[in-house]
Amino acid sequence: MNLAHLLERAARVHRTAPALHVGARQLCDYRGFAAAAARLGAGFRDRLRLAPGERVAIFMENAPDYLIALWGAWFAGLAVVPVNAKLHPREVLYALQNSGAQALIVSDSHAAGLAPLLAQAPDCAHVITPGAASWRRLLETEALAEPLHRGPDDVAWLFYTSGTTGKPKGVMITHRNLFAMTLCYLADVDEVDPRDAIVYAAPISHGAGLYNFPHVLKGARHVVPESGGFDPAELVDLSRSVGRLSMFAAPTMVKRLVDHVASRGADPSGFKTIVYGGGPMYVEDIRRGLDAMGDRFVQIYGQGESPMTITALSRAILADRAHPRWAERIASVGVAQSLCEVRVGDAGGRALPAGEIGEVMTRGDAVMAGYWRDPEATAKTLRAGWLFTGDVGSLDADGFLTLKDRSKDVVISGGSNIYPREVEEALLTHPDVAEVSIIGRRDPEWGEIVVAFVVARAGATVAPADLDSLCLASIARFKRPKAYRFVASLPKNNYGKVLKTELRDLDARLAAGGN
Ligand code: AMP
């Protein structure tokens, strides 16, 4: 069954329930939302001649049209390629080329930057900008009577994640995966009804956008902030005017919201549920959150390959301060979500006893079908039916999972993943840089920040400003190092592999010494 049936059904069951909003202003009800998606879907099929299974990439900031574009694509049986709006045009080009997307929906603000590169994506025959004539024409098509048929294993969401080695990979998320994620939200994260509202304060191209499904299923309101993003003062105002507001937020955002609420003594009662995840949440921070905003939090642990759906730490457990192991539990990522099996395994994937540390594995209907056109990477990550997450952790006797570290060296800054290799490659294009290694440094505001250890060529000096310019020319702005440390050499093991643990220690020692 095609996911788009969720919206078609909501339009029958919750016909006049308010659906899309900008700020507190309602744009349409469920009937209007579904009708727009059904017309856009018809436009994809009848005017652009796109066939089920073909891809449409979306490169735009949060907006109600983003949701219409997603659902329009699913009505037509297409797979969407949601591209992070902060990416560099070259990174977007890679996703277009690799996915072979036949169409691109790009916001006005991004269109000009991308235009000169589009000749290098010959499959992409159609470029449409919401609000422009091309978009309006699609929306004038006679609506599809119903979503085109799709099977559960057909790809719905082709999401590009970076790899520590090589190029980004397209994660194939199927209709079945998204149904599983939706049901787990309703079973393990939160109940939803039409009075509720979800606000998109984080990018719709990521987890925040995925949470539109349970809210469509239940006929709840969808709110795009006027700012399009995360602004604590705006969110507090929205919670008052809209009410029963839920959101997904990275730990960094939660911390900023909590700081704002605590420092202003703001009333948090307009917030219903704040789901946090995507990176580590420090215990002190969630304690402060609970103190300032009450029992409004739920944690989830997931990854692009099993989106939002591996474990959850419920509101009830976070609230149960009297429990003898409360402190340990709030430091964990909770227990397996209802449709997931979770295991901590040894190198061969055999289950380890409670308390032992190993790689986190998961199995179930939320786990991706594989990496797009990359059987080798798929075979490494999906083995004997299990997804090997690359995260390291341990389970306790009650099934609570605590993450210890990430086996991959990904740096998570402000909820966004930054893969060292990409930054290292950008810095290594400087003629006077001999070697470079990227680590994450714990940071109270961002979770982690990117620190670059740089070895200059003999006799040369390298200016940080030049390194910054190199990064800006080829990778997204948020991936740029926030600090540079110039060293004579990098610590390495016998195989010549850089010892990042030693670099982290060195960074901490230098910081303690005031350098
Ligand atoms: P992504 O694929 O971009 O969603 O990143 C997924 C990675 O983020 C996971 O493999 C974990 O390393 C990390 N992560 C996700 N959720 C949590 C969480 N609740 N606590 C700690 N780390 C998390």
Query: What are the pLDDT digits (tens) for 109-154?
Result: 999 999 999 999 999 999 999 999 999 999 999 999 999 999 999 9
pLDDT, tens digit (0-9, with 9 covering 90-100), for 335-367: 999 999 999 999 899 999 999 988 999 999 999
Of all protein residues, the one whose alpha carbon is nearest to atom 6 of ligand 1 is 303
Of all protein residues, the one whose alpha carbon is nearest to atom 7 of ligand 1 is 303
Q: From CA 44, how far away is CA 79, in angstroms rounded?
A: 12
Mean pLDDT computed over 470-486: 94
Ligand 1 centroid to Cα of residue 340, in Å, is 16
Instruction: Specify the pLDDT at position 51.
Output: 98
Ligand 1 centroid to Cα of residue 302, in Å, is 6
Ligand 1 centroid to Cα of residue 61, in Å, is 22
**Beta-sheet strands, E only, within 177-270:** 197-199, 221-224, 245-249
44 in contact with ligand 1, CB cutoff 6 A: no
Whether residue 514 is predicted with pLDDT greater than 60 in this model: the reply is no
168 in contact with ligand 1, CB cutoff 6 A: no
Instruction: Specify the pLDDT at position 391.
Output: 87
Ligand 1 centroid to Cα of residue 46, in Å, is 40
If you average pLDDT over every residue of the chain, what do you get? 94
Ligand 1 centroid to Cα of residue 463, in Å, is 34
From the list 10, 5, 4, 3, the residue with the least C-alpha distance to 194 is 10
Of all protein residues, the one whose alpha carbon is nearest to atom 1 of ligand 1 is 303
Query: Among 84, 367, 412, 413, which residue has the most ligand 1 atoms within 8 Å of its CB, making it the best to mutate?
Result: 412
Range name among 151-155, 279-283, 408-412, 454-458 with the lowest pLDDT average: 279-283
Q: Which atom of ligand 1 is nearest to the CA of 311?
A: 19
From the list 229, 205, 228, 208, the residue with the least C-alpha distance to 83 is 205
Structural element, H or E, at residue 210:
helix 207-210
φ and ψ at residue 263, rounded to 5 degrees: -70, -30
Instruction: Specify the pLDDT at position 410.
Output: 80
pLDDT, tens digit (0-9, with 9 covering 90-100), for 234-278: 999 999 999 999 999 988 889 899 999 999 999 999 999 999 998
301 in contact with ligand 1, CB cutoff 6 A: yes
Ligand 1 centroid to Cα of residue 333, in Å, is 10
Ligand 1 centroid to Cα of residue 81, in Å, is 20
Is residue 8 helix, strand or coil? helix
**Beta-sheet strands, E only, within 191-305:** 197-199, 221-224, 245-249, 271-276, 297-303
Ligand 1 centroid to Cα of residue 183, in Å, is 20
pLDDT, tens digit (0-9, with 9 covering 90-100), for 194-243: 999 999 999 999 999 999 999 999 999 999 999 999 999 999 999 999 99
Q: From CA 306, how far away is CA 316, in angstroms rounded?
A: 24
Ligand 1 centroid to Cα of residue 412, in Å, is 8
φ and ψ at residue 184, rounded to 5 degrees: -65, -35
Mean pLDDT computed over 292-299: 98
In the numeric block, which tokens belong to residue 215?
A: 């809210």
Q: Does residue 148 contact residue 77 with C-beta atoms inside 8 Å? A: yes
Residue spans in the chain of domains classed CATH 3.40.50.12780: 4-395
Mean pLDDT computed over 306-312: 98
Q: Which amino acid is at 501?
A: T
Ligand 1 centroid to Cα of residue 112, in Å, is 33
φ and ψ at residue 378, rounded to 5 degrees: -60, -45
Indicate the pLDDT class of residue 442, thresholds 50, 70 and 90. very high
Whether residue 383 is predicted with pLDDT greater than 50 in this model: the reply is yes
Q: From CA 496, how far away is CA 1, in angstroms rounded?
A: 51
Range name among 144-153, 445-454, 494-503 with the lowest pLDDT average: 494-503
299 in contact with ligand 1, CB cutoff 6 A: yes
Q: Which residues contact 345 (CB under 8 A, 6 or more apart)?
A: 351, 352, 358, 359, 361, 386, 388
- Residue 11's alpha-carbon distances to 32, 143, 285, 354, 418, in angstroms, are 8, 14, 40, 47, 39
Q: Which residue has the higher pLDDT, 324 or 500?
A: 324
Q: Which atom of ligand 1 is nearest to the CA of 305?
A: 2
Ligand 1 centroid to Cα of residue 489, in Å, is 32
Q: From CA 4, how far away is CA 24, in angstroms rounded?
A: 26
Of all protein residues, the one whose alpha carbon is nearest to atom 22 of ligand 1 is 279
Whether residue 488 is predicted with pLDDT greater than 80 in this model: the reply is yes
Q: From CA 257, how far away is CA 435, in angstroms rounded?
A: 39
Whether residue 165 is predicted with pLDDT greater than 80 in this model: the reply is no
Query: Among 403, 416, 417, 422, which residue has the most ligand 1 atoms within 8 Å of its CB, making it the best to mutate?
Result: 403
Ligand 1 centroid to Cα of residue 64, in Å, is 27
Ligand 1 centroid to Cα of residue 279, in Å, is 5
Q: For the chain, what percent of residues have pLDDT higher than 70?
A: 97
Partners of 436 in beta bridges: 454
The position carrying tokens 């090589």 is 166
Whether residue 160 is predicted with pLDDT greater than 90 in this model: the reply is yes
Ligand 1 centroid to Cα of residue 400, in Å, is 16
Of all protein residues, the one whose alpha carbon is nearest to atom 9 of ligand 1 is 303
Mean pLDDT computed over 479-501: 83
Q: Which atom of ligand 1 is nearest to the CA of 416?
A: 3
Q: Does residue 109 contact residue 86 with C-beta atoms inside 8 Å? A: no
Indicate the pLDDT class of residue 163, thresholds 50, 70 and 90. very low
Q: Which residue has the higher pLDDT, 405 or 91?
A: 91
The position carrying tokens 């009650």 is 398
Options 3.40.50.12780, 3.30.70.2860, 2.160.20.10, 1.20.120.920; CATH of 4-395? 3.40.50.12780
Instruction: Specify the pLDDT at position 164.
Output: 41
Instruction: Specify the pLDDT at position 171.
Output: 98
Is residue 344 helix, strand or coil? strand
Q: Which amino acid is at 491?
A: P
Q: Does residue 46 contact residue 145 with C-beta atoms inside 8 Å? A: no
Whether residue 495 is predicted with pLDDT greater than 50 in this model: the reply is no
Third-level CATH fold of 412-512? GMP Synthetase; Chain A, domain 3 (3.30.300)
Whether residue 45 is predicted with pLDDT greater than 60 in this model: the reply is yes
Of all protein residues, the one whose alpha carbon is nearest to atom 21 of ligand 1 is 280
- Residue 484's alpha-carbon distances to 265, 321, 450, 451, in angstroms, are 38, 42, 9, 6
334 in contact with ligand 1, CB cutoff 6 A: no
Q: From CA 60, how far away is CA 252, in angstroms rounded?
A: 23
Mean pLDDT computed over 280-296: 89
Residue spans in the chain of domains classed CATH 3.30.300.30: 412-512
From the list 301, 302, 244, the residue with the least C-alpha distance to 274 is 244
279 in contact with ligand 1, CB cutoff 6 A: yes
Query: Among 303, 314, 344, which residue has the most ligand 1 atoms within 8 Å of its CB, making it the best to mutate?
Result: 303
Is residue 47 helix, strand or coil? helix
Instruction: Specify the pLDDT at position 493.
Output: 61
Model's pTM, two decimal places?
0.86
Of all protein residues, the one whose alpha carbon is nearest to atom 5 of ligand 1 is 303
409 in contact with ligand 1, CB cutoff 6 A: no
